Structure 1
Amino acid sequence: IHLSRNNFTGTIPETISGLDNLELLDFSYNHLHGSIPPSFQSLTFLSRFSVAYNHLTGGIPSGGQFYSFPHSSFEGNLGLCRSINSPCDVMMSKGSSRSHDNNNGKFGRSSIVVLAISLALGITLLLSVILLRLSRKDADDRVNDVDEEAPLSSSSSKIVLFHSCGCKDLTVADLLKSTNSFSQANIIGCGGFGLVYKSNLPDGSKAAVKKLSGDCGQMEREFQAEVEALSRAEHKNLVSLQGYCKHGSDRLLIYSFMETGSLDYWLHESSTALRWEVRLKIAQGAARGLAYLHKVCEPNVIHRDVKSSNILLDDRFEAHLVDFGLARLIRPYDTHVTTDLVGTLGYIPPEYSQSLIATCRGDVYSFGVVLLELVTGSRPVEVCKGKGCRDLVSRVFRMKAEKREAEIIDATIREEDVEEEEVLEVLEIACKCIDHDPRRRPLIEDVVAWLEDFPVESVEEE
């Protein structure tokens, strides 16, 4: 629901909390007053929320998805506060003290105490804002620092190309021409911070160009993450980064073009069903790409957004991992990196919401969900189904406990001449990957070994 910049007045309707499947709610830049309804904490699918620049007051809900929303979702409301880092109780006691003084017609000692506390808090908050802005400036400076191995261009129009790109001396003008000035007709995909365009390069080859947009700080972090991760990584099961460019406020990333599209499309949108042997080949390739990131690439990389739409397929249905905007480099001997709660609903490991620590076994969980998609043909979250059937992981564990796991195998697989036992073995591998306890999950190299026990020939899909 996009309702920003409509000059709305009044309070936010509490009845919106009845929209169980709501994923986005934007009330920014209006004239709303009152508080944020606490019942919004029950909107478990809400992934984007903004009430910025209104006249709201009171405490920001701390339950449900609200702990993951950034400060920018609430800025511009001087009366809003977070109870976890702002003196909501003091603010409310201040208001009640004033009311009490007005009713009695005198300025009591309690009012003086409250006023003194408020003044002290105001000075503290002002100093905190100044320090926060200084720290953000330092962070932005670090983002723009030159990387030793893959220096970001200081020129706004120079494109940095890697050896994997066959097109030499590519310019921004060439990119504009090859994408029809980033025409809507050339859009072939979208990510969290930008669209992906098909590009017909001057040498006759094709490329995919991601144009990053959105929140400036987050856009820079995604841009830096992709360049840092993919400039070091080179593997047949990773999409190749051919070049990148800073052009004014735009950030452009140039990838090799995957003609066949994404695994998500073939599983959930295509009218042609993938054969079991092709699904196995895709699973093996994606697992090998992830194992390379975790163990071989230096420094190691945690992807943090493994999902079927981030597995692209070439003309031989070979899998290629893509979209490293959330990736984090992990140094030797480190076991994890601290992180924000990021990822895609249905693929996020359960421990991320509790510890905000990203590990390689978190990627294994997400890959296990992809394996479930390959076996069942179902999406990780089916919002159009009943509450008991929406979550694929929960449904699989329930059916497994009831000894009915064979019933969740994709019907198109059952129509093939495939041994049911083989499909159930892959389902068992997936269940090991999605174990709620990350310590019990296998390493990705173990998953690769298990999947390669199922030999597949070189297969192509018509």
Structure 2
Amino acid sequence: MGSFLRKQPSFLLILLILHLGAREARALSSDGEALLAFKKAVTTSDGIFLNWREQDVDPCNWKGVGCDSHTKRVVYLILANHKLVGPIPPEIGRLNQLQALSLQGNSLYGSLPPELGNCTKLQQLYLQGNYLSGHIPSEFGDLVELGTLDLSSNTLSGSIPPSLDKLAKLTSFFIGNRGLCGKQINSVCKDALQSPSNGPLPPSADDFINRRNGKNSTRLVISAVATVGALLLVALMCFWGCFLYKNFGKKDIHGFRVELCGGSSIVMFHGDLPYSTKEILKKLETMDDENIIGVGGFGTVYKLAMDDGNVFALKRIMKTNEGLGQFFDRELEILGSVKHRYLVNLRGYCNSPSSKLLIYDYLPGGNLDEVLHEKSEQLDWDARINIILGAAKGLAYLHHDCSPRIIHRDIKSSNILLDGNFEARVSDFGLAKLLEDDKSHITTIVAGTFGYLAPEYMQSGRATEKTDVYSFGVLLLEILSGKRPTDASFIEKGLNIVGWLNFLVGENREREIVDPYCEGVQIETLDALLSLAKQCVSSLPEERPTMHRVVQMLESDVITPCPSDFYDSE
């Protein structure tokens, strides 16, 4: 056989050609490669991509994808409301036969890719109800077949490009993007007001685009960096979750006995725990999964019942950073010193070999998310106002009366706990900073929190008091409406709760946002709360009030005037 092959070198060449030809025949099409690039950019979804396989010849059988039956080219991509988190990659522009693109109702962020202008056969483009930012690319003017463009309820800014005006078939929607301007929405851009007095000839379209690009080059660089940062935020967040599950998740079934053996200690703050270290450790050793009362973005929560009848909540945070120890302990001591009527009290912590076990007061009323959305009994109007005021006072105390000041970074309904009388307490304050990477500003905030995040935080990852105020405004709307920020009723309209409010304001129907099942609604206080919510969720941070001012407005405009217990720390 060997002599035969030596005499017939062309035989090997033929085999090689046939092999390469077979591989080429099985290779994924260019449209499929573009879609895999989109899949790679999206870091979180509801599983829609499970059958998107690289070994397929074409993507025509993939979920959400439609192809021409003859050419096998992708003609539509329908991925609306699939919990997608990530940027839209430039590779989407390779789908040059695409006729319909529907990505509304997700958590896509970053800039609109100018490469979409290459999809010149596109007829329908639905991107509403995401967190897209930056300018609308002028290249969209090349989409000569475009009939519908919906960019509403994002955080886009700048002037709407004049190139869209030449699209004769176009019906466009921009509502909910307060930073946009242009004649298409009857909003004069600031640059247009600064024309020379001698009235020179109006610039051509090319001059306009070149001048705008020159002015905004720095902004584009910042936007690009912000997009990369936001991508890293979500990617590292998902990696962190997978890492914990892989390395620690299976250990939960063994309870705390394995953890506490050899080298555990209890740290108590100011005598807040009237028990000896031995008593607490003994009780911890008997705990297992039956004691779990909740699972959140920062760890598992257990119910710790002592022999004298006192009950505490135990939050278990895994140690994922060996160098975290001293910094973590120092920050926990600061958090343990914070005492206020509307904050959940941190009593102490157990320092075990593999985790920190934070000991908090136990609140029997559960969290606000459960009460609003999962329990049959509805909160009446007075109860909702009381919860709003309590949450505002707790957050205001963190911002204005703590030294150093504390930015919460993760205000949402599941972090508002309720006692037996439905008095609100703000929980988990300071934990986002504790679990943050100092160099990259990557936090453990989970994807479900995106509905509460301020636009500038989505872009930069930098938290301020004003990003907390925005989240409080979303929380306020959630309490008034009885709906989560990304409730299906909003998503169906291509909106989130802030976009829905903006839409209703434009229609002069903002009162319709109130929960129809809420009893005892008072119109005067509803109007005052809606006015406050609109200020808190302004797209411009400088237009949002401070939390101290929020408390003042609640007490003067909503609550019957009475002496403030803002500084009550009992």
Task: Tell me whether the two structures share a fold, i.e. TM-score over 0.5.
Answer: yes
1:168 aligns with 2:276: yes
Structure 2, unaligned runs of 5 or more: 1-44, 65-77, 93-100, 110-226, 241-261, 563-570
Judging changes above 3 Å, is the alpha-carbon distance between structure 1 residues 221 and 290 closer, same or farther for their aligned structure 2 residues? Answer: farther
Quick one: distance in 1 between partners of 2:377 and 2:491?
27
Quick one: distance in 1 between partners of 2:80 and 2:319?
27
> For structure 1, which segment, 338-347 or 228-237, has the greater mean C-alpha deviation from structure 2 after superposition?
338-347
Structure 2 counterpart of 1:119: none
Matched positions, count: 339
1:198 deviates by: 1.0
Instruction: Tell me the secondary structure at the aligned position of residue 242 of structure 1.
Output: strand
1:250 deviates by: 2.1
Quick one: distance in 2 between partners of 1:455 and 1:69?
40
1:20 deviates by: 3.9
Structure 2 counterpart of 1:438: 541
2:234 to 56, 59, 69: 69
Structure 2 counterpart of 1:332: none
Quick one: distance in 2 between partners of 1:222 and 1:439?
32
Instruction: Tell me the secondary structure at the aligned position of residue 559 of structure 2.
Output: coil
Structure 2 counterpart of 1:349: 454
2:395 to 290, 300, 314: 290
1:401 to 499, 506, 528: 506
Structure 1 counterpart of 2:137: none
Structure 2 counterpart of 1:249: 354
1:340 to 442, 456, 462: 442
Judging changes above 3 Å, is the alpha-carbon distance between structure 1 residues 71 and 256 closer, same or farther for their aligned structure 2 residues? Answer: closer
1:388 deviates by: 2.3
1:229 deviates by: 4.8
1:220 deviates by: 7.0
1:421 deviates by: 2.2
1:9 deviates by: 8.5
1:455 aligns with 2:562: no
2:524 to 414, 417, 421: 421
Q: Is the 8 A contact 2:383 2:422 kept in 1?
A: yes
Instruction: Tell me the secondary structure at the aligned position of residue 234 of structure 1.
Output: coil
Instruction: Tell me the secondary structure at the aligned position of residue 358 of structure 2.
Output: strand
Cα deviations across residues 267-311 of structure 1 (Å, max 9, x unaligned)?
Answer: 111101111111111111111111111111111000000111100
1:235 deviates by: 0.7
Structure 2 counterpart of 1:45: 107
Cα deviations across residues 358-388 of structure 1 (Å, max 9, x unaligned)?
Answer: 1101101101111101111111112475442
1:37 deviates by: 11
Q: Is the 8 A contact 1:346 1:380 kept in 2?
A: yes
Judging changes above 3 Å, is the alpha-carbon distance between structure 1 residues 319 and 440 closer, same or farther for their aligned structure 2 residues? Answer: same
Q: Is the 8 A contact 1:68 1:341 kept in 2?
A: yes
2:301 to 178, 181, 196: 196
Which runs of structure 2 are paired with 1:180-219 in the superposition (5 Å)? Answer: 181-183=287-289, 185-213=290-318, 215-216=320-321
Quick one: distance in 2 between partners of 1:284 and 1:229?
25
Quick one: distance in 2 between partners of 1:166 and 1:38?
61
Which runs of structure 2 are paired with 1:217-256 in the superposition (5 Å)? Answer: 227-256=332-361
Cα deviations across residues 227-263 of structure 1 (Å, max 9, x unaligned)?
Answer: 2552231111110111112211122111100001111
Cα deviations across residues 150-203 of structure 1 (Å, max 9, x unaligned)?
Answer: xxxxx83111122222333343331232xxx232x3221111131101111133
Judging changes above 3 Å, is the alpha-carbon distance between structure 1 residues 349 and 9 closer, same or farther for their aligned structure 2 residues? Answer: closer
Structure 2 counterpart of 1:412: 517
Q: Is the 8 A contact 2:237 2:443 kept in 1?
A: no
Quick one: distance in 2 between partners of 1:191 and 1:2?
19
Judging changes above 3 Å, is the alpha-carbon distance between structure 1 residues 246 and 421 closer, same or farther for their aligned structure 2 residues? Answer: same
Q: Is the 8 A contact 2:236 2:442 kept in 1?
A: no
Quick one: distance in 2 between partners of 1:339 and 1:66?
12
Cα deviations across residues 5-45 of structure 1 (Å, max 9, x unaligned)?
Answer: x9x995599646755444489xxxxxxxxxx9956996943
Judging changes above 3 Å, is the alpha-carbon distance between structure 1 residues 388 and 63 closer, same or farther for their aligned structure 2 residues? Answer: farther
Quick one: distance in 1 between partners of 2:302 and 2:378?
26
Q: Is the 8 A contact 1:160 1:245 kept in 2?
A: yes
Instruction: Tell me the secondary structure at the aligned position of residue 398 of structure 1.
Output: helix
1:219 deviates by: 8.7
Q: Which has the higher contact order (CA 8 A, sep 6+)?
A: 2
TM-score (normalised: structure 2): 0.53
Judging changes above 3 Å, is the alpha-carbon distance between structure 1 residues 290 and 363 closer, same or farther for their aligned structure 2 residues? Answer: same
TM-score (normalised: structure 1): 0.64
Structure 1 counterpart of 2:371: 266
Quick one: distance in 2 between partners of 1:218 and 1:349?
31
Q: Is the 8 A contact 2:406 2:429 kept in 1?
A: no
Instruction: Tell me the secondary structure at the aligned position of residue 301 of structure 2.
Output: strand
Q: Is the 8 A contact 1:338 1:358 kept in 2?
A: no
The percent of aligned pairs where both chains have the same amino acid is: 38
Instruction: Tell me the secondary structure at the aligned position of residue 517 of structure 2.
Output: helix
Tell me which amino acid in the other structure corresponds to 1:346: G
Q: Is the 8 A contact 2:229 2:459 kept in 1?
A: no
RMSD: 3.9
Quick one: distance in 2 between partners of 1:74 and 1:216?
14
Instruction: Tell me the secondary structure at the aligned position of residue 389 of structure 2.
Output: helix
Tell me which amino acid in the other structure corresponds to 1:45: S
Cα deviations across residues 393-437 of structure 1 (Å, max 9, x unaligned)?
Answer: 000111011101121111123x42x32121121111111101000
Tell me which amino acid in the other structure corresponds to 1:419: Q
Tell me which amino acid in the other structure corresponds to 1:407: E
